[in-house]
Amino acid sequence: WCHFVPARFGLRGTIATTKQAVTSRADAANMKIRVGGGLMHEIANAMGVNALLKPAPELYELLSGNVVDGTLGPAEMIVSFKLEKVLKHMTRLPGGLYNTSFAVLISDERFNKLSKQDQDAMLSLSGERLARRIGADWDKSEKLADEVMRTNNIQVVTASPAFIKEIRERIDPLEQKWIKEATGKGVEPAKALAELREEIKKVAAGK
């Protein structure tokens, strides 16, 4: 496989709700929260959340109809899915409750059928260059979401150290599980994770 877009950072998960802010794990456990698949679902389960696995385009209907009390997702979802009238609270965690990375892939077979000129054009516009461009656009969407939340009086709180500790204790086993599964597959998982976190810090600092 050819990876045209490597990791992209910036999709920082929050907890957004309709009736009250989530300031502890107990708060989250008492609500029905919409989640997406993959890591988001695993984290919700680890936290003991009453999670409903549904696609993001159904968010407005789920929230406005009181089917769920909130959702996990990035702040920009408020703009993308027009949720400013149904969401009232957002809890942010430093660095995000989770971060999601994306990749655009093409098979070797298909890539090799392209002309050398087309291959070079695709490669010159992708990789880190495209990842940074998409990340910058995502950051703009996040800033717009901040504006929309202020205009619509959506209350934003930052998770307390005690709440962060609760979450960390619950999700640390997921990290250790991944390290164990990745060991012996051609990478040093613990080292790779440490390097990833350092890279995220650099990007966040504008380096």
How do residues 57-110 score in pLDDT, each as one tens digit? 999 999 999 999 999 999 999 999 999 999 999 999 988 898 877 777 888 888
CB 159 within 8 A of CB 93: yes
The SS3 assignment for 81 reads coil
CB 88 within 8 A of CB 152: no
Percent of the chain with pLDDT over 70: 93
- pLDDT in the model for residue 135: 80
- pTM of this structure: 0.83
The residue among 8 and 29 whose pLDDT is bigger is 29
CB 16 within 8 A of CB 70: yes
Number of other residues whose CB lies within 10 A of the CB of residue 181: 10
User: Residue range 6-21: average pLDDT?
Assistant: 76
Q: Which of 103, 101, 100, 102 is nearest to 4 (CA)?
A: 103
Q: Which of 47, 55, 52 is nearest to 22 (CA)?
A: 47
